[in-house]
Amino acid sequence: MKKLLKILPYILLAYAAMYSTIWLHELGHSLAYHYFECKQDVLNFYVPAYFANANPYPVDKAKSATLASWQYFYISLAGIAMNLLLALGIWLILQSNLKFTPLLYFFIIMFLLSNLLEVATYLTISNIYPLSDMIAVQQYNPILRIPLFLLGLLLMYGIITLIMNAPKTWQKGMTIFSMVAALAMGGLRLLFTIF
């Protein structure tokens, strides 16, 4: 029980980092729908506590039905782009050598890891068999899947490097978190794409 109480703040922070990542991913889609005049309230979207079936809806179905494939392409990549920009921003903050409390530093690292995982799983797992956002990429220009897949592999390298450079006491938890998150993200996308 003592050990659980000691790691509970870290578990909650890891969950908060992942939830924030998914929420911001859907915000990216929502902003793109708003840009193409298919959505009024950009903050009105769905991200349940268990993450599955998060989506940017509601959108104006009549207007979204008139969008061209290139517009769906940008809407689909908007969530991934949001996560990639956040990861870059967090990485730059970490390069500034600012001092953080251990719990805040853990949250920042897990938020970076979550954003990298979100993008990397889309660009690799969901790219091999187009799922969710990657379906619009396939429909717009299938050849784009190749450079996006290579970018996903590069991000996987970044994830491994991040874990290897994390404090030793965090590495096992970060590894387990990464594997579970990647499998869950890929698996849930498959389920919700099929059904």
Q: Would residue 68 count as lying in a domain? A: no
Strand partners, 55: 46
Q: Is the peptide bond before 58 cis (omega within 30 degrees of 0)?
A: yes
From 10-19, 50-59, 94-103, 159-168, the region with the lowest mean pLDDT: 50-59
Task: Identify the three-state secondary structure at position 46.
Answer: strand
Q: Would residue 113 count as lying in a domain? A: yes
Q: Would residue 165 count as lying in a domain? A: yes
Q: Would residue 125 count as lying in a domain? A: yes
Q: Would residue 63 count as lying in a domain? A: no
Identify the CA nearest to 170 among candidates 122, 110, 123, 126. Answer: 110
* Band of residue 184 on the pLDDT scale cut at 50, 70, 90: confident
Token digits for 64? Answer: 């979204």
Q: Would residue 67 count as lying in a domain? A: no
Q: How far apart are CA 85 and CA 27, in angstroms?
A: 13
Domain count, the chain: 1
**What per-residue string of b and e applies to 103-139 under the rule 16 or more CB within 10 Å gives b?**
eebbbbbbbbbbbbbbbbbbbbbbbeebbbbbebbbe
Task: Identify the three-state secondary structure at position 30.
Answer: helix
Q: Over 80: is that where the pLDDT of 188 sits?
A: no
Question: pLDDT tens across 50-71, in order?
Answer: 877 889 999 999 999 999 999 9
Q: How far apart are CA 94 and CA 102, in angstroms?
A: 13
Task: Identify the three-state secondary structure at position 13.
Answer: helix
* Band of residue 195 on the pLDDT scale cut at 50, 70, 90: low
Q: Would residue 190 count as lying in a domain? A: yes
Contacts of 83 (CB under 8 A, 6+ apart): 21, 24, 25, 28, 115, 116, 118, 119
Q: Would residue 29 count as lying in a domain? A: no
Token digits for 32? Answer: 């793109």
> Residue 158: which domain range?
2-23+76-194
Question: pLDDT tens across 153-170, in order?
Answer: 999 999 999 999 999 999
